[in-house]
Amino acid sequence: MADNVNMFEALYEKAVDYAKTSFELNKLKAIEKTADVVSSFIPHTVVFVLISFFVLSLNLGMAYWIGDMLDNVAYGFFIVAGFYCIAGLVTHFIFHERLKRFFGNYFLKLLFK
């Protein structure tokens, strides 16, 4: 009888050790995935900010240039804003689902890599 109790205690200790090890392993895997997502997100963000500054400067230059050609700077800004309004509407109504699927798949691929 005492032999069965010792075997049960040993089995119980091994199960507890296994549970602790599994928990630590899952915690380390979660940390690795988080670090992978964050480390790939930061360079993309930096590139996005730099491209945004470039596009902003380009748009200001185009608006002033068009306004100078029309002898009214405000017209240049209205034309550039109208272009982006049309581009935004086209993107929303035509490409919304494709873009949503693309970025969703991209983040899922990063998470399950």
Q: Which residue from 73, 99, 103, 74 is spatially nearest to 88, judged by alpha carbons? A: 99
Q: Where are the domains of the chain?
A: 2-111
What is the band of 95 on the pLDDT scale with cuts at 50, 70, 90? Answer: confident
Which segments of the chain does DSSP mark as H helices, in order?
A: 2-69, 73-90, 96-111
The pTM of the full predicted model, rounded to 2 decimals, is 0.58
pLDDT band at 1 (very low <50, low <70, confident <90, very high): low
Give the tens place of pLDDT for each residue, 19-71.
899 999 999 888 888 887 777 778 888 999 999 999 999 999 999 999 999 99
Distance CA 79, CA 62 (A): 10
Top-confidence residue, 89 or 38: 89
